[in-house]
Structure 1
Amino acid sequence: MLIELTPPRFMFFIKRVVLLSLVLAASFSSYSQRVDKKSALRDSLDHKLDASDFLMTANGFIPLPQFITEPSLGSFGLAFSPIFIHPNKYQEKGRYVPPNITVAFVAYTANQSWMLGAMRIASLPKYGLKYRIGAGYGSVNMDFYRNVGGLGDKKFSFNFRSIPIFGSLTKEIGKTNIYAGIEYFYMDTDLSPEFGFTSLPDFVSEKSLKSHVSSPGVLVEYDMRDNSFTPNKGTMLSSNFRINAAWTGSDFEFRNLDFKALQYFQTTPSLVSGFRFESQLQYGKAPFYLNPGVNLRGVPMARYQGQSVYLLETEQRYDFTMRWSGVFFTGMAKAIPKETSFSDATLVYNYGTGFRYLIARKFGLRMGVDVAASNDDFGYYIVFGSAWNNRG
């Protein structure tokens, strides 16, 4: 059951939750300093602050307060996510079995957007199955940009009241680490323009103001990374194809074909080189807010959209010690609008740096902070695991 919260009530709720997260984080740190080396918050290997045993034996969770720096959401906000991570009960010798993850979140931003939701990512290795399921609800105020005549890019603000629901189920083919299966995405959206035009701009249809998107699809994944949080080496390939049509229950007729490739090389014991390639192709007429967009750190959400997107990024991580690392990343992308050639589309780039701390050694989980710049924008991010997991 989803309970709608008005913005004032939600603000009170988020303040309480963020305060709780800070108390938990402070308690986490102070407690770890008071107890002996056998504490669940100390690593038995180097006796440093570590959440591995806390997560594995105490049914604990990582309290993750996070700043929201997305410019299209007001440039500042707060989110809180208790993240529960548990090793899978079924383990296979010589094979990496990812842990099960359950996460909830609440968020509020400076432009009065608010969101809440939950997700579970888990597997049943004995049967060769993986599944993901999630749902949310929110009132989101977001800015979109379009080129208007000879005036250049102009900002259009909207309020979205949406209920998104997502689920997927895949089955391993033999012992190949190739998983194939089905997925489904549903979103009910009530859209309100928040700008002073007397008529809707060309890219907004009347139908998109109150609509349903219902997208069944198929997906194939190949994952040979050495861990699913902060990989040191390995390959991950993923592709999916989704359909929206009247027979699926959608108000729109369009299709999406997405592909993602991640490659990690540990060239020395201290240096990890990562590479990311993504392409998104869309066919048909989708609501503007579901057009493919450039997804890079430092680039505002929905700033660059098109019928197709191509993206390439690299991240280099250097481990100064077992616990502390520095990262540098840079990338480029193009979002190609309909009837625009690849060469004419805007080249979007980003670059930035950050640091990581190995917060859960037994899971290979690192956390840290990144700062990033792009063509005309800047952002900073709290990173849990890999930034490519969060944004890809």
Structure 2
Amino acid sequence: MNMIKLITLKAFRLNLVLNNYLKAFVLLFVFCAYSPISHAQTKSDSIKKHKEKFSFKMLKDTLDGNLDMSYVLMHNNGFIPVPQIVTESALGGIGLVMAPVFIKPNKHQVEGEHVAPNITAAFAGYTANKTWGFGGFRKASLPKYHLKYTVGAMYANINMEFYRDIPVVGNKEFDFNFRVAGGFVSVLREIANTDLYMGLQYYYGHVDVTPQFQNVEIADFFKEKDFSSNIGSLGLALEFDKRDNVFTPDKGWYISSQYQVNANWTGSDYDFQNFNLEILKYFQVTPKWVSGLRFQSQLQFGDAPFYLEPSVVMRGVPMAKYQGDEVYVLAMEQRYDFLYRWSAIGFGGLAKAPTKRVSFDDAELVYSYGGGFRYLIARMFKLRTGVDVAWSNNGDFGWYIVFGCAWNNFN
């Protein structure tokens, strides 16, 4: 049944206004991004493939006639051009990252189960403080062999601020330039049809660091070998994913844990270990109200470079502002689908980052809160996108273009 017929005239008018606004935003990128699209072979045309040039009609859902990217994504050249406005104060306060994201349904479907689609993306970005970078990744699964894998690579020139408490001076900013080249690979295998995956992951990168301030000796956290070093991290990973959707879940669990070793034999110039745990829980309070809970802990042991110390990651919190040997985050997100395509978002969280010198009880309590909206941009994939605004301690503020669930960016 056409869903538009199920809502009132007033709601229909609101939906039309909001939908036209989003069309203007998305079609600007689609117009430049899409080449001619090949239609899939049909039963009536089993010998010759039918090809058709791109038309904006392809962006209308056959269910309700609204803007939808499902049809385009289901075909060979379909992708979503995701613009990410960088509002991170540690990176200059403003910037733009463009990321074409290709999403394909997995060829090997399992009846009665949600099989995550394969995702391939590239990115390139630039910010106001002359930070720039480019790279790409692929995240896919082979259900026939009970395997998941992720591969990626990047190069970046990053100008970034770090914060430290200096005796007498107090909290001080330190500017650094980083030139980073690295790659990542992860391969996980399912254990006896339990939805629990186990495997190995490895990251290797070369990092050149240049302080952008005088009196380097005041930064006692900066060591001589930090000027130029290699990071080689080998990890054991566990993953349990029972979400009903990998992009914008309505219900289910996601549990991820890694133990990572950095040592001479792994190709690293440093000797340290990390243990990370992330737990996400989604449930429907009502058919239109989805509640999400997030717990994260990061523990670090050994002698890591300052830029790899665990830090609090929440919307509204400046990157790397709150670092510690341990990090604990507890957050929630509420989504209410007030129209078929449109949703309102509210979220908040608390975190602490204790160090060897500052206990958990004495560590500063970091808080974050905010809200936003979502639009169901690809119905067949249950993919929602939108904008969030957030605030945290000392009036820090950020706003974000969100693709799927914001928490996906954190893991």
By how many angstroms is 1:213 displaced?
A: 0.6
Please say which structure displays the higher CA radius of gyration.
2
Report the equivalent of 2:69: 51
Confirm or deny that 1:390 pairs with 2:409: yes
- In 2, the alpha carbon distance for the partners of 1:198 and 1:169 equals 41
- In 2, the alpha carbon distance for the partners of 1:77 and 1:184 equals 30
Amino acid at match of 1:100: N
- In 2, the alpha carbon distance for the partners of 1:390 and 1:175 equals 27
Confirm or deny that 1:318 pairs with 2:336: yes
By how many angstroms is 1:150 displaced?
A: 2.9
Q: Deviations over 1:242-293 (max 9, x none)?
A: 0011111110000000000000011111100000000000000100000000
**What is the SS of the residue equivalent to 2:74?**
helix
By how many angstroms is 1:38 displaced?
A: 11
Amino acid at match of 1:382: I
Runs of 4+ in 1 over 2 A off after TM superposition: 21-29, 37-40
**What is the SS of the residue equivalent to 2:155?**
strand
- In 1, the alpha carbon distance for the partners of 2:276 and 2:167 equals 31
- In 1, the alpha carbon distance for the partners of 2:267 and 2:99 equals 32
Q: Is the 8 A contact 2:33 2:81 kept in 1?
A: no
Confirm or deny that 1:72 pairs with 2:90: yes
Report the equivalent of 2:135: 117
Confirm or deny that 1:25 pairs with 2:30: yes
Gaps of 5+ in 1: 1-20
- In 2, the alpha carbon distance for the partners of 1:317 and 1:207 equals 47
- In 1, the alpha carbon distance for the partners of 2:240 and 2:139 equals 16
By how many angstroms is 1:120 displaced?
A: 0.3
Q: Deviations over 1:170-201 (max 9, x none)?
A: 00012111000000011100000001215351
Q: Deviations over 1:314-349 (max 9, x none)?
A: 000000111000000000000111232101001000
Confirm or deny that 1:304 pairs with 2:322: yes
- In 1, the alpha carbon distance for the partners of 2:118 and 2:339 equals 28
Which of 252, 256, 263 is equivalent to 1:234? 252
Confirm or deny that 1:96 pairs with 2:101: no
Confirm or deny that 1:159 pairs with 2:177: yes
Q: Deviations over 1:53-109 (max 9, x none)?
A: 110025311011221001100010011000000000010110000000000000000
Report the equivalent of 2:22: none
Q: Is the 8 A contact 1:28 1:41 kept in 2?
A: no
Alignment of 1:237-316 (within 5 A): 237-316=255-334
- The structure-2 alpha-carbon separation of the partners of 1:116 and 1:308, relative to structure 1 and needing over 3 Å to count, comes to same
- In 2, the alpha carbon distance for the partners of 1:272 and 1:44 equals 26
Report the equivalent of 1:3: none
Report the equivalent of 1:62: 80
- Percent of matched pairs sharing the same residue: 54
Report the equivalent of 1:218: 236
- In 2, the alpha carbon distance for the partners of 1:183 and 1:48 equals 41
Confirm or deny that 1:330 pairs with 2:348: yes
Gaps of 5+ in 2: 1-25, 37-52
Confirm or deny that 1:108 pairs with 2:132: no
Confirm or deny that 1:378 pairs with 2:397: yes
Q: Is the 8 A contact 1:231 1:264 kept in 2?
A: yes
Q: Deviations over 1:194-234 (max 9, x none)?
A: 01215351100001110001011100000000000000000
By how many angstroms is 1:23 displaced?
A: 4.3
| Cα RMSD for the two superposed structures | 1.9
TM-score, normalised via structure 1 length: 0.91
Q: Is the 8 A contact 2:284 2:291 kept in 1?
A: yes
**What is the SS of the residue equivalent to 2:225?**
helix
**What is the SS of the residue equivalent to 2:29?**
helix
- In 1, the alpha carbon distance for the partners of 2:56 and 2:317 equals 44
Amino acid at match of 1:348: V
- The structure-2 alpha-carbon separation of the partners of 1:187 and 1:43, relative to structure 1 and needing over 3 Å to count, comes to same
- In 2, the alpha carbon distance for the partners of 1:200 and 1:84 equals 47
TM-score, normalised via structure 2 length: 0.87
By how many angstroms is 1:391 displaced?
A: 2.3
Q: Is the 8 A contact 1:51 1:360 kept in 2?
A: yes
Confirm or deny that 1:357 pairs with 2:362: no
Count of matched residue positions in the alignment of Structure 1 and Structure 2: 368
- In 2, the alpha carbon distance for the partners of 1:22 and 1:390 equals 24
By how many angstroms is 1:46 displaced?
A: 1.1
- In 2, the alpha carbon distance for the partners of 1:71 and 1:192 equals 19
- In 1, the alpha carbon distance for the partners of 2:169 and 2:153 equals 39
